[in-house]
Amino acid sequence: MTRAELIHQIKAKRSFLCVGLDTDLAKIPDHLLDDEDPIYSFNKAIIEATADLCVAYKPNIAFYECYGIKGWQSLQKTWAALPKDCFSIADAKRGDIGNTSGRYAMAFFDEKASGLGFDSITIAPYMGKDSVTPFLDFKDKWAIVLALTSNEGSLDFQNFENKEGLQLFEQVIDKVNTWGTPENLMYVVGATRGEGFIKIREHAPDHFLLVPGVGAQGGSLEDVCKFGMNKDCGLLVNSTRGIIYASKGTDFAERAREEALILQKEMEVELVKAGIIS
Protein backbone atom coordinates (compact mmCIF):
# COMPACT_ATOMS: atom_id res chain seq x y z
CA MET A 1 0.00 0.00 0.00
CA THR A 2 1.33 3.41 -0.96
CA ARG A 3 1.20 6.53 1.20
CA ALA A 4 -1.47 8.03 -1.06
CA GLU A 5 -3.60 4.90 -0.76
CA LEU A 6 -3.26 4.90 3.02
CA ILE A 7 -4.32 8.55 3.22
CA HIS A 8 -7.29 7.77 0.97
CA GLN A 9 -8.40 4.97 3.30
CA ILE A 10 -8.12 7.24 6.34
CA LYS A 11 -10.38 9.81 4.70
CA ALA A 12 -12.82 7.22 3.32
CA LYS A 13 -13.21 5.35 6.60
CA ARG A 14 -12.93 8.51 8.71
CA SER A 15 -10.55 6.58 10.89
CA PHE A 16 -6.86 6.03 11.59
CA LEU A 17 -7.41 3.00 13.79
CA CYS A 18 -5.04 0.06 13.79
CA VAL A 19 -6.29 -3.12 15.47
CA GLY A 20 -3.61 -5.21 17.14
CA LEU A 21 -3.89 -8.97 16.77
CA ASP A 22 -1.81 -10.11 19.76
CA THR A 23 -3.83 -13.28 20.05
CA ASP A 24 -3.26 -15.14 23.31
CA LEU A 25 -4.83 -18.60 23.70
CA ALA A 26 -5.22 -17.92 27.42
CA LYS A 27 -7.44 -14.90 26.72
CA ILE A 28 -9.63 -15.90 23.78
CA PRO A 29 -13.14 -17.30 24.38
CA ASP A 30 -13.14 -20.87 25.65
CA HIS A 31 -15.61 -22.05 23.02
CA LEU A 32 -12.98 -21.46 20.32
CA LEU A 33 -10.36 -23.69 21.90
CA ASP A 34 -11.82 -26.83 20.35
CA ASP A 35 -11.51 -25.40 16.82
CA GLU A 36 -8.85 -26.80 14.52
CA ASP A 37 -7.08 -23.43 14.56
CA PRO A 38 -8.46 -21.33 17.44
CA ILE A 39 -6.08 -18.41 16.82
CA TYR A 40 -7.25 -18.07 13.23
CA SER A 41 -10.91 -18.54 14.19
CA PHE A 42 -10.59 -15.70 16.70
CA ASN A 43 -8.68 -13.42 14.32
CA LYS A 44 -11.07 -14.01 11.43
CA ALA A 45 -14.07 -13.05 13.56
CA ILE A 46 -12.33 -9.92 14.87
CA ILE A 47 -11.31 -8.89 11.34
CA GLU A 48 -14.81 -9.40 9.93
CA ALA A 49 -16.31 -7.38 12.80
CA THR A 50 -13.94 -4.39 12.53
CA ALA A 51 -12.76 -4.14 8.92
CA ASP A 52 -14.93 -1.15 8.04
CA LEU A 53 -13.82 0.77 11.13
CA CYS A 54 -10.04 0.52 10.89
CA VAL A 55 -7.35 1.16 8.29
CA ALA A 56 -4.69 -1.24 9.59
CA TYR A 57 -4.09 -4.53 11.40
CA LYS A 58 -0.99 -5.39 13.39
CA PRO A 59 -0.31 -8.98 14.42
CA ASN A 60 2.46 -9.18 17.02
CA ILE A 61 4.60 -11.97 15.59
CA ALA A 62 5.69 -13.35 18.99
CA PHE A 63 2.13 -14.52 19.63
CA TYR A 64 2.43 -16.78 16.58
CA GLU A 65 6.09 -17.83 16.57
CA CYS A 66 5.78 -19.24 20.10
CA TYR A 67 3.59 -22.06 18.72
CA GLY A 68 6.08 -23.17 16.08
CA ILE A 69 4.81 -24.34 12.71
CA LYS A 70 1.16 -24.22 13.83
CA GLY A 71 1.55 -20.63 14.88
CA TRP A 72 3.19 -19.70 11.58
CA GLN A 73 0.30 -21.34 9.71
CA SER A 74 -2.16 -19.32 11.82
CA LEU A 75 -0.24 -16.19 10.87
CA GLN A 76 -0.30 -17.07 7.17
CA LYS A 77 -4.05 -17.61 7.25
CA THR A 78 -4.58 -14.43 9.26
CA TRP A 79 -2.56 -12.39 6.78
CA ALA A 80 -4.57 -13.88 3.89
CA ALA A 81 -7.80 -12.89 5.65
CA LEU A 82 -6.84 -9.23 6.02
CA PRO A 83 -8.85 -6.92 3.73
CA LYS A 84 -6.78 -5.58 0.86
CA ASP A 85 -7.85 -2.02 1.68
CA CYS A 86 -6.25 -2.29 5.13
CA PHE A 87 -2.58 -1.64 5.81
CA SER A 88 -0.90 -4.74 7.25
CA ILE A 89 1.87 -4.51 9.84
CA ALA A 90 4.10 -7.38 10.93
CA ASP A 91 5.02 -6.31 14.45
CA ALA A 92 8.25 -8.29 14.55
CA LYS A 93 10.81 -5.67 15.69
CA ARG A 94 13.55 -7.24 13.59
CA GLY A 95 17.01 -5.73 13.18
CA ASP A 96 20.28 -7.45 12.27
CA ILE A 97 23.21 -7.24 9.87
CA GLY A 98 22.42 -6.70 6.21
CA ASN A 99 22.21 -10.23 4.83
CA THR A 100 20.14 -11.38 7.81
CA SER A 101 17.81 -8.39 7.57
CA GLY A 102 17.34 -9.27 3.91
CA ARG A 103 16.12 -12.72 4.93
CA TYR A 104 13.78 -11.24 7.53
CA ALA A 105 12.40 -9.01 4.80
CA MET A 106 11.78 -12.05 2.60
CA ALA A 107 10.01 -13.79 5.47
CA PHE A 108 7.43 -11.04 5.85
CA PHE A 109 7.31 -9.38 2.43
CA ASP A 110 7.84 -12.15 -0.16
CA GLU A 111 4.61 -14.13 -0.42
CA LYS A 112 6.12 -16.67 -2.83
CA ALA A 113 8.90 -17.48 -0.37
CA SER A 114 7.03 -17.51 2.93
CA GLY A 115 3.30 -17.29 2.35
CA LEU A 116 3.27 -13.76 3.81
CA GLY A 117 3.13 -10.41 2.06
CA PHE A 118 2.75 -7.76 4.75
CA ASP A 119 2.85 -4.09 3.78
CA SER A 120 5.24 -3.23 6.58
CA ILE A 121 7.35 -4.47 9.46
CA THR A 122 8.53 -2.91 12.71
CA ILE A 123 12.31 -2.53 12.95
CA ALA A 124 14.78 -2.09 15.82
CA PRO A 125 17.47 0.25 14.41
CA TYR A 126 20.18 -0.31 17.04
CA MET A 127 22.56 -1.97 14.55
CA GLY A 128 22.34 0.94 12.15
CA LYS A 129 21.83 1.34 8.42
CA ASP A 130 22.22 -2.30 7.38
CA SER A 131 19.53 -3.33 9.86
CA VAL A 132 16.98 -1.07 8.12
CA THR A 133 17.77 -0.55 4.44
CA PRO A 134 17.26 -4.19 3.28
CA PHE A 135 13.58 -3.77 4.13
CA LEU A 136 13.43 -0.60 2.02
CA ASP A 137 14.71 -2.48 -1.02
CA PHE A 138 11.26 -4.06 -1.42
CA LYS A 139 9.02 -1.94 -3.65
CA ASP A 140 5.92 -0.46 -1.97
CA LYS A 141 6.89 -1.91 1.43
CA TRP A 142 7.48 0.03 4.63
CA ALA A 143 9.92 -0.04 7.53
CA ILE A 144 8.39 1.16 10.79
CA VAL A 145 11.34 2.10 12.97
CA LEU A 146 11.27 2.21 16.77
CA ALA A 147 11.81 5.81 17.87
CA LEU A 148 10.26 6.75 21.22
CA THR A 149 8.48 3.88 22.94
CA SER A 150 6.33 3.90 26.06
CA ASN A 151 7.58 0.80 27.86
CA GLU A 152 9.27 1.19 31.25
CA GLY A 153 12.72 0.28 29.93
CA SER A 154 12.62 2.92 27.20
CA LEU A 155 14.21 5.36 29.63
CA ASP A 156 17.32 3.18 29.78
CA PHE A 157 18.56 4.48 26.42
CA GLN A 158 16.15 6.55 24.36
CA ASN A 159 16.54 9.82 26.27
CA PHE A 160 20.35 9.91 26.40
CA GLU A 161 21.63 13.27 25.14
CA ASN A 162 24.66 14.00 22.98
CA LYS A 163 26.89 17.07 23.30
CA GLU A 164 24.47 19.09 21.16
CA GLY A 165 21.57 18.27 23.48
CA LEU A 166 19.79 15.91 21.08
CA GLN A 167 18.24 12.90 22.73
CA LEU A 168 18.97 9.47 21.27
CA PHE A 169 15.50 9.06 19.75
CA GLU A 170 15.96 12.37 17.92
CA GLN A 171 19.33 11.24 16.58
CA VAL A 172 17.80 7.97 15.42
CA ILE A 173 15.07 9.77 13.47
CA ASP A 174 17.51 12.21 11.86
CA LYS A 175 19.79 9.39 10.73
CA VAL A 176 17.03 7.05 9.54
CA ASN A 177 15.47 9.90 7.55
CA THR A 178 18.56 9.83 5.30
CA TRP A 179 17.91 6.18 4.35
CA GLY A 180 14.33 6.49 3.13
CA THR A 181 11.42 8.88 2.69
CA PRO A 182 7.92 9.47 4.11
CA GLU A 183 6.81 7.11 1.31
CA ASN A 184 8.45 4.06 2.91
CA LEU A 185 9.40 4.98 6.48
CA MET A 186 7.28 5.33 9.59
CA TYR A 187 8.20 5.63 13.26
CA VAL A 188 6.86 3.98 16.40
CA VAL A 189 5.98 6.52 19.09
CA GLY A 190 4.23 5.50 22.30
CA ALA A 191 0.96 7.29 23.07
CA THR A 192 1.82 7.73 26.74
CA ARG A 193 4.64 10.14 25.82
CA GLY A 194 2.16 13.00 25.20
CA GLU A 195 4.12 16.14 24.43
CA GLY A 196 7.03 14.04 23.20
CA PHE A 197 5.20 14.20 19.87
CA ILE A 198 6.23 17.84 19.57
CA LYS A 199 9.89 16.84 19.35
CA ILE A 200 9.07 13.94 17.06
CA ARG A 201 7.33 16.26 14.61
CA GLU A 202 10.30 18.63 14.63
CA HIS A 203 12.39 15.81 13.16
CA ALA A 204 9.73 13.92 11.18
CA PRO A 205 7.02 16.39 10.15
CA ASP A 206 5.70 14.36 7.21
CA HIS A 207 6.18 10.75 8.27
CA PHE A 208 3.41 8.51 9.52
CA LEU A 209 3.68 7.49 13.17
CA LEU A 210 2.51 4.14 14.50
CA VAL A 211 1.19 4.88 17.98
CA PRO A 212 0.58 2.08 20.50
CA GLY A 213 -0.63 2.72 24.03
CA VAL A 214 -4.06 4.32 23.56
CA GLY A 215 -6.77 2.75 25.71
CA ALA A 216 -5.67 -0.05 28.03
CA GLN A 217 -2.17 1.42 28.40
CA GLY A 218 -3.50 4.85 29.37
CA GLY A 219 -2.56 6.98 26.37
CA SER A 220 -4.83 9.89 25.42
CA LEU A 221 -6.09 9.97 21.84
CA GLU A 222 -6.80 13.69 22.16
CA ASP A 223 -3.20 14.43 23.21
CA VAL A 224 -1.78 12.22 20.46
CA CYS A 225 -3.79 14.16 17.88
CA LYS A 226 -3.07 17.56 19.43
CA PHE A 227 0.69 17.08 19.34
CA GLY A 228 1.19 14.43 16.64
CA MET A 229 -1.31 14.89 13.81
CA ASN A 230 -0.09 16.52 10.59
CA LYS A 231 -1.89 17.75 7.47
CA ASP A 232 -2.35 14.19 6.14
CA CYS A 233 -3.27 12.83 9.59
CA GLY A 234 0.09 11.06 9.76
CA LEU A 235 -1.05 8.71 12.52
CA LEU A 236 -1.93 5.06 12.86
CA VAL A 237 -3.18 4.63 16.41
CA ASN A 238 -3.16 1.05 17.62
CA SER A 239 -5.52 -0.54 20.11
CA THR A 240 -5.29 -4.19 21.04
CA ARG A 241 -6.57 -5.35 24.43
CA GLY A 242 -9.35 -2.79 24.62
CA ILE A 243 -10.84 -4.12 21.39
CA ILE A 244 -10.02 -7.78 20.88
CA TYR A 245 -10.51 -8.79 24.53
CA ALA A 246 -13.64 -6.73 25.20
CA SER A 247 -15.47 -10.00 25.92
CA LYS A 248 -14.55 -13.63 26.48
CA GLY A 249 -18.03 -14.83 25.63
CA THR A 250 -19.69 -15.85 22.39
CA ASP A 251 -20.35 -12.15 21.77
CA PHE A 252 -16.60 -11.35 21.61
CA ALA A 253 -16.69 -10.14 17.99
CA GLU A 254 -19.74 -7.94 18.54
CA ARG A 255 -18.15 -6.39 21.64
CA ALA A 256 -14.90 -5.86 19.74
CA ARG A 257 -16.85 -3.98 17.10
CA GLU A 258 -18.51 -1.81 19.73
CA GLU A 259 -15.15 -0.80 21.19
CA ALA A 260 -13.64 -0.19 17.75
CA LEU A 261 -16.63 1.96 16.82
CA ILE A 262 -16.13 4.13 19.91
CA LEU A 263 -12.53 4.81 18.87
CA GLN A 264 -13.46 5.36 15.23
CA LYS A 265 -16.02 7.97 16.22
CA GLU A 266 -13.46 9.75 18.41
CA MET A 267 -10.99 9.68 15.51
CA GLU A 268 -13.62 11.08 13.15
CA VAL A 269 -14.04 14.05 15.48
CA GLU A 270 -10.27 14.67 15.48
CA LEU A 271 -10.07 14.43 11.67
CA VAL A 272 -12.88 16.95 11.30
CA LYS A 273 -11.29 19.23 13.89
CA ALA A 274 -8.02 19.14 11.90
CA GLY A 275 -9.81 19.92 8.61
CA ILE A 276 -8.71 16.62 7.03
CA ILE A 277 -12.32 15.57 6.43
CA SER A 278 -15.58 17.50 6.64
- The values of phi and psi at residue 271, to 5°, are -65, -40
Cβ–Cβ < 8 Å for 46, 253:
yes
Active-site residue among 11, 77, 93, 175? 93
Annotated catalytic, 93? yes
Q: Is 115 left (phi over 0), alpha (psi -120 to 50) or beta?
A: left
- How far is 59 from 40, CA to CA, in rounded Å? 11
In this structure, are residues 22 and 59 in contact, taking their beta carbons and an 8 Å threshold? Answer: yes
Greatest CA separation found in the chain? 59
Is the CB of residue 207 less than 8 Å from the CB of residue 231? Answer: no
C-alpha span between 59 and 81 (Å, rounded): 12
R_g of the chain, CA atoms, integer Å: 18
For residues 231 and 91, give the distance between their C-alpha atoms in angstroms, rounded to a whole number: 26
Beta-ladder partners of 230: 233
Q: Distance between CA atoms of 82 and 138, rounded to whole angstroms?
A: 20
Residue type, 276: I
Angle at 185 between CA 44 and CA 214, to 5 degrees: 55
3-state secondary structure of 211: strand
Nearest-angstrom CA–CA distance, 234 and 21: 22
Annotated catalytic residues are 93
